[in-house]
Amino acid sequence: MKITTSGESHGKGLFAIIEGLPSHLAVDIEAINRDLALRQSGYGRGGRQKIETDKVEILTGVRDGKTLASPVTLAVFNADYENWKEYMAPEHCNVEGRTVTKVRPGHADLTGMIKYGQTDARNILERSSARETAIRVAVGALCRQLLSSLGVEVSGYVKEICGVKDEGEYTFEQIKGRLPELGMVSFDAQKRAMEKIDGLKADGDTCGGMLEIRVRGLKSGFGSCMTYGQKLDARLCAALMSVQAIKGVEVGLGLGVASLSGKDVHDEIFYENAGGFYRKTNRAGGIEGGMSNGEELVLRAAMKPIPTLMRGLSTVDYLTKQTVRASTERSDVCAITACEIILESVVCTELCAVVLERLGGDTMEQIVERYGRLPQ
């Protein structure tokens, strides 16, 4: 499966071409739109979410609600383009208007300008913006539907927001009931996190946090121990790290393995005639030797605070080289609820690719049958 995305934050829209999906996959457009709505939700969001109401349009590759096996093209058009056409039109536009030269710390602005020979950060930030994740959520929602047909589920929740931690241990069913405002499971932790966000907003500051993504129902053997590029944990971690705000990723115990001895890290293996091999613990996070082992996949990702601060950080004007306050655009204080569904989406996309590589097949019927024959 190959995916190409394109589009700018204030351009006409965001687009994706997906190659390699089988025929006969039933496509639920409303389910894709629900995930897009989740990406725009959450406590601490900014003004852009009041302008856009993201909806997917399927341009190619689907007929009568089912994939054809030809490339699928998805589009999420930007309503805000009407306000930016004067400055963003691909034919002719006012390139002197809405320029950004006060480069923002934590963004791609400065490095991108140097790399691509630009004097206006607008030509960098329009693509590097987190707005790009809207189309990745649409792609992931479609891939989720393929995984669901195999009995594979992906969910997640928010464990921490700027030092406010949810210390609970939750089952897969419990995290599916996460609270809508911030995606946390604990009401008390979420209340304290909302108070934290209010304080940061008053100070013109921002926050990030820690998220946990789980996968249930994936059989053993996906990934490989034979070639490093096919290791499942490497591929999933790369997918998570590809999201703009993510600065760290863990699998299972993650960094915690460094401070523990072997007996507290490795999962002992047992066997029973009825169910076969199993483990009583899941410290490995469902992946051993670069392959799924049949247990739940457990992934965590650290989201950095949003780098566009309304009070602006100290920086340099790219043209004058003078010390200034960084440029500001409409900004969120906290976008961790959006980040949660984005992370689920990129995990769904990468897992879908891994599954299709192992199973092959031109139709959904073939894929479902082949998955059913795999051992647990």
**Digits of tens for pLDDT over the chain (376 positions)?**
999 999 999 999 999 999 999 999 999 999 999 999 999 999 988 765 566 789 999 999 999 999 999 999 999 999 999 999 999 999 999 999 999 999 999 999 999 999 999 999 999 999 999 999 999 999 999 999 999 999 999 999 999 999 999 999 999 999 999 999 999 999 999 999 999 999 999 998 999 999 999 999 999 999 999 999 999 999 999 999 999 999 999 999 999 999 999 999 999 999 999 888 999 999 999 999 999 999 999 999 999 999 888 878 899 999 999 999 987 765 789 999 999 999 999 999 999 999 999 999 999 999 999 999 998 7
Measured CA to CA, the distance from residue 173 to residue 350 in angstroms comes to: 23
Measured CA to CA, the distance from residue 64 to residue 170 in angstroms comes to: 40
Measured CA to CA, the distance from residue 200 to residue 296 in angstroms comes to: 35
Strands (E), the chain: 2-7, 13-19, 23-26, 57-60, 62-63, 66-68, 72-77, 153-161, 164-165, 209-216, 246-251, 269-272, 276-279, 287-288, 291-292, 297-303, 314-316, 323-325
Question: Token pair for residue 77?
Answer: 């058009």
Measured CA to CA, the distance from residue 132 to residue 348 in angstroms comes to: 17
Amino acid at 149: S
* C-alpha distance across the termini of the chain, in Å: 24
What's residue 329's pLDDT? 62
Strand partners, 271: 277
Domains with residue ranges and CATH for the chain: 2-372 (3.60.150.10)
- Residue 327 half-sphere exposure toward CB, CA atoms < 13 A: 17
What's residue 184's pLDDT? 97
Are residues 161 and 340 in contact, defined by beta-carbon separation less than 8 angstroms?
A: no
Strand partners, 23: 68, 363
Characterize 168-188 residue by residue with b for buried, 16 or more Cβ atoms within 10 angstroms of its Cβ, and e for exposed: eebeeeebeebbebbbbbbee
CA dihedral over 29, 30, 31, 34, signed as positive or negative: positive
Among 57, 56, 68, CA closest to 24: 68
Q: Is 4 left (phi over 0), alpha (psi -120 to 50) or beta?
A: beta
Q: Which residue has 């192992």 as its token pair?
A: 358
Measured CA to CA, the distance from residue 259 to residue 248 in angstroms comes to: 18
Reduced to 3 states, what is the DSSP secondary structure of residue 285? coil
Measured CA to CA, the distance from residue 243 to residue 134 in angstroms comes to: 11
What's residue 311's pLDDT? 78
- What pTM did the predictor assign? 0.95
Measured CA to CA, the distance from residue 258 to residue 255 in angstroms comes to: 6
Measured CA to CA, the distance from residue 234 to residue 97 in angstroms comes to: 43
CA-CA-CA-CA dihedral for 238, 243, 172, 27, to nearest 10: -100
